[in-house]
């Protein structure tokens, strides 16, 4: 596994984990690929200059609609912390927007 993928999975399992599968021993067999796909897309969105809120909304939609988990009370917080971790770990700066 590449270092980037390991870092991505660490973010997915320690911060986002919408299905609450992290038992402290890492992702269950086969579950990591699903998170990878969504987090790779979120990272691509950030690199394309999408705002944090839009990327967080994407993660929340994945959780509530695609995973059919509804709207968890902590979903926005986890999504925003995930976005911020992706930016920090992969050194993605948000473009400066002038008013």
Q: Which residues of 13-27 are buried (b: 16+ CB within 10 A; e: fewer)?
A: bebbbbeeebeeeeb
Position 90 pLDDT exceeds 70: yes
Dist CA 43 CA 50 (whole Å): 10
Name the band, by pLDDT with cuts 50, 70 and 90, for residue 28: low
Chain-wide mean pLDDT for the chain?
85
Identify the DSSP state of 24: S
Position 12 pLDDT exceeds 60: yes
Position 98 pLDDT exceeds 60: no
Q: If you average pLDDT over residues 55-73, what whole number do you get? A: 89
Helix, coil or strand: residue 50: coil
Q: pLDDT value at position 65?
A: 86
Assigned token pair, 67: 């995973």
């Amino acid at each position: 596994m590449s270092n980037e993928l390991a870092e991505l999975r660490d973010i997915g399992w320690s911060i986002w984990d919408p299905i609450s599968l992290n038992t402290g021993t890492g992702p269950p067999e086969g579950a990591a690929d699903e998170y990878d796909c969504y987090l790779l897309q979120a990272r691509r969105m950030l690199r394309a200059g999408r705002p944090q809120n839009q990327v967080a909304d994407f993660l929340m939609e994945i959780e509530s609609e695609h995973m059919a988990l509804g709207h968890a009370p902590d979903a926005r917080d986890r999504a925003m912390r995930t976005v911020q971790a992706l930016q920090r770990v992969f050194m993605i700066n948000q473009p400066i927007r002038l008013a």
